[in-house]
Amino acid sequence: MNETILSHLNSRGEAHMVDVGSKNVTVRCAVAQCEVVMKPETLWLLQTGGLKKGDAFTVAKIAGIQGAKKTSDLIPLCHPLSLDYVDIRFMNAPKEGAVTIESEARTSAKTGVEMEALTGAFVAALTLYDMAKSQDPAIVITNLHLVQKTGGKSDFRVESYT
């Protein structure tokens, strides 16, 4: 039976930050997505700027970028990274009343940017919720996942996620 080695535990089973000092600096990219599901009329208000709090997509985009930049402050053992690029994109989801949020993060570093992409997508989703919760408190944030990563030891791309 293969024993799983958890990289964030030392030989005594204690949490520690992984030492990436001997790794090579490479260009790394990660893309993450999530969905925000709401009443169709709430989505219409978001899309037309009809919410009392203003332009929710612009605020959520800025919040997502800021969230990606603050990832190491939120995730205890995550390395602080100097990000070269972060983008938050909003797309119509297949479900009625849903929007897909896609977050992309890039850096030249010794470790990947998966956590930054995931955090960016989630913070953007939380911001949409905050902006629209008075209209629709039953909004659901779902399906947060990594879509792809490149630039480290191994590349990853999900073919389909359901």
Instruction: Determine the structural domain holding residue 58 and report its residue range.
Output: 26-151
Mean pLDDT on 141-148: 97
In a domain, 93, yes or no: yes
Annotated catalytic residue: which of 87, 130, 136, 155?
130
In a domain, 85, yes or no: yes
Question: Which strands sit side by side in the sheet containing 156-157, from one edge to the other?
Answer: 85-92, 98-109, 26-37, 140-150, 156-157
pLDDT band at 19 (very low <50, low <70, confident <90, very high): low
Predicted confidence (pLDDT) per residue in 63-116, tens digit:
999 999 999 999 988 889 999 999 999 998 888 999 999 999 999 988 889 999
pTM equals: 0.87
Q: For residue 33, give the CATH number of its domain.
A: 3.30.70.640
Domain count, the chain: 1
Does 130 participate in catalysis according to the annotation? yes
In a domain, 160, yes or no: no
Q: Write down the number of H helices and E strands in the chain.
A: 4, 5
